[in-house]
Structure 1
Amino acid sequence: MLIYLNGQFISKEDARISPFDHGFLYGIGLFETFRVYDGHPFLLDDHLERLNQGLAELSIQQQYTRKEIKNILQELLERNQLTNAYIRLNVSAGLGEVGLQVEPYLQPNLIIFPKPLPPAGELIEKKAVLLKVKRNSPEGNQRLKSHHYLNNVLAKREIGDFPDIEGIFLNEQGYLAEGIVSNLFWIKGNVLYSPSLHTGILNGITRQFVIQLGWENNLQIQEGLYSFEEALEADEMFVTNSIQEIVPITSFEGRNFPGKEGPWVQKFHQDYRQYCKNLWSRNSVRRE
């Protein structure tokens, strides 16, 4: 498999960065993960918007455009003979001396990792369990999709390597937060609920897309501070991320849900199929 590293397409076994990269030394780096569907990088504009905002916050003086990343992706996919793929776009701070740096980073490392994926389409159900590990608070004013992933690693170790289970964090105040690698939603009546960003969660790109779909489908949207007991009253529950899309939940702490039989899960899944091969931004979603 070939990856992209600072202007070159090289074998993943040959990839090298310096140990003086502050992404390695101090975790100063960001990444985005997204899917390519039949050659189209779904919601790329939204991913780049979040990435560029994070880079500015970390004083990494680099911004990326759709044209630039699209051209890299096209060649990367062609060289690897891929049309459907997992993409991780990673930006680390770049070289620095040992010690904390105040000055901006001027030469970050850009690495793009592809992995083959089968064509999407099937709803895959999971069970949700409440984690003992609490969601840590963000390092700054908001949670960035950064290299700081120990909290997630500890949570994953708690539940083990079971692909049909997603662990759900409570934050330090005891409110529902998010999954280990996902955002959490539930529906009761005509209301779509999701924990507020004030709980310290990552504002996932798929989360934002689903909220937009909710508006376009005339659902009321409620983002707030919720106990897990409140979520147990839901009609349907699901989690989201950019690789797994919409993941129906069949049970959570002893409460059963309809999973992939839920009508709203099915509707969002259908909407996903409609948009995934052509949409650049959630702002282009329009109800017919």
Structure 2
Amino acid sequence: MYVYMNGQFIEKDKVAISPFDHGFLYGLGVFETFRIYNGHPFLLEDHLERLNSSLDILNIEAAFTREQTTENLNLLLAKNDLRDAYIRFNVSAGNGEIGLQTERYNNPNIIVFAKSLPPAGGMSEKKAVLMDLPRNTPEGSERLKSHHYLNNVLAKREVGPAMNREGIFLTRDGVLSEGIVSNVFWYKDGTLFTPSVETGILNGITRRFVIALARNAGIEVREGFYKKEEAESADELFLTNSIQEIVPVTEFEGKSFPGKSGELVNLLFGQYAAYRETLWSRTQLDGGAHT
């Protein structure tokens, strides 16, 4: 497998970074994960928008355009003979002296990994379990998709390795927040609910896209602060992330849910699948002039 690093395509076993990279020393780095569907990087503009914003917050001198990123992705896919892939686009602060730095980082390390995925198919299902470990609070004013992942790692250890289980965090105040690697939605009496970004969750790209899909379909969407009992009483419950897409839940806190036979998840998933190979941004759903 070849990896893109700082303008070059390198065999994965030959990729190296310095131990003085502040992404390693202090967790100063961010990443995006997204899918390539038949050569198309789905919602790439939305991912780059979030990535660029996060880099600015971290004082890292880097910004990425759709045009240049697409060119590099196409070359990386060709080097690895891929048409459908998982992409991790990673930017770390770069080298510095030992000690906390206040100056801007001008030479970040940019590494893009591609991993083969099968062509997209239907929905998978999961069981959701409430965790004892609370969700940590964001380090700043909002949660970034950063290298600081210990809360998620400890949560995964609590839940265990099974791929058909997802752990759901509560905040320290007992409010529903998000999954270990997902955002959470539930549907009740014609309304779609999801925790507010103000609970400290990551504002997922797929989360935002699904909200846009639902509203375009005439479904009311409410974002707020909710207790677990509100999700337990739902008609449908599902998870979202950029690799697994929309994942219906079959069981949560001892209650059964319809899973992939649910009416709403089938509606949303059908629309999601129709856009996989064409959309660059969720704004196109509102008539944006992206081509």
| Normalised-by-shorter TM-score class | over 0.9
- Secondary structure, aligned partner of 2:91: strand
Q: For 1:3-18, what aligned pairs fall within 5 Å after superposition?
A: 3-18=3-18
- 1: CA distance, partners of 2:162 / 2:211: 28
Q: 2:107 corresponds to which letter in structure 1?
A: Q
- 1: CA distance, partners of 2:61 / 2:153: 29
Q: For residue 214 of structure 1, report the CA deviation from its aligned partner.
A: 1.0
Give the length in aligned residue pairs: 287
Q: For 1:42-81, what aligned pairs fall within 5 Å after superposition?
A: 42-81=42-81
Q: 1:172 corresponds to which letter in structure 2?
A: R
Q: For residue 121 of structure 1, report the CA deviation from its aligned partner.
A: 1.6
Aligned-pair Cα RMSD in Å: 0.8
Q: Provide the residue aligned with 2:259 in structure 1.
A: 259
- 2: CA distance, partners of 1:52 / 1:158: 33
Q: For residue 272 of structure 1, report the CA deviation from its aligned partner.
A: 1.1
Q: For residue 65 of structure 1, report the CA deviation from its aligned partner.
A: 0.4
Q: 2:211 corresponds to which letter in structure 1?
A: I
Q: Provide the residue aligned with 1:105 in structure 2.
A: 105
Q: 2:225 corresponds to which letter in structure 1?
A: L
Q: Provide the residue aligned with 2:201 in structure 1.
A: 201
- 2: CA distance, partners of 1:109 / 1:280: 25
- 1: CA distance, partners of 2:53 / 2:148: 17
Give CA deviations for 1:30-57 in whole Å, capped at 9, x if unaligned: 0000000000000000000000000000
Q: Provide the residue aligned with 2:124 in structure 1.
A: 124
Q: Provide the residue aligned with 2:139 in structure 1.
A: 139
Give CA deviations for 1:39-94 in whole Å, capped at 9, x if unaligned: 00000000000000000000001110001110000000001000000000000000
- 1: CA distance, partners of 2:189 / 2:120: 29
- 2: CA distance, partners of 1:267 / 1:286: 18
Q: Provide the residue aligned with 1:281 in structure 2.
A: 281
- 2: CA distance, partners of 1:66 / 1:167: 34
Q: 2:252 corresponds to which letter in structure 1?
A: F
- 2: CA distance, partners of 1:229 / 1:147: 32
Q: 1:44 corresponds to which letter in structure 2?
A: L
User: Normalised by the size of structure 1, how large is the TM-score?
Assistant: 0.99
Q: 2:133 corresponds to which letter in structure 1?
A: V
- 2: CA distance, partners of 1:219 / 1:268: 11
User: Is 2:109 the counterpart of 1:115?
Assistant: no
- 1: CA distance, partners of 2:31 / 2:265: 28
Q: Provide the residue aligned with 1:163 in structure 2.
A: 163
Q: 2:229 corresponds to which letter in structure 1?
A: E
- Secondary structure, aligned partner of 2:87: strand
Q: 1:187 corresponds to which letter in structure 2?
A: Y
Give CA deviations for 1:7-48 in whole Å, capped at 9, x if unaligned: 110111000111100000000000000000000000000000
Give CA deviations for 1:154-208 in whole Å, capped at 9, x if unaligned: 0000011000000000011110000000000001122110001111100000000
Q: Provide the residue aligned with 1:234 in structure 2.
A: 234
Q: For residue 286 of structure 1, report the CA deviation from its aligned partner.
A: 4.8
- Secondary structure, aligned partner of 2:249: strand
- 1: CA distance, partners of 2:76 / 2:267: 33
- 2: CA distance, partners of 1:214 / 1:108: 38
- 1: CA distance, partners of 2:30 / 2:156: 20
Q: Provide the residue aligned with 1:34 in structure 2.
A: 34
Q: 1:271 corresponds to which letter in structure 2?
A: Q
Q: 2:176 corresponds to which letter in structure 1?
A: L
Q: Provide the residue aligned with 2:88 in structure 1.
A: 88
- Secondary structure, aligned partner of 2:89: strand
Q: Provide the residue aligned with 1:212 in structure 2.
A: 212
- Secondary structure, aligned partner of 1:247: strand
- 2: CA distance, partners of 1:205 / 1:268: 15
- Secondary structure, aligned partner of 1:285: helix
- 2: CA distance, partners of 1:133 / 1:187: 25
User: Which aligned runs of 4 or more in structure 1 are off by greater than 2 angstroms?
Assistant: none
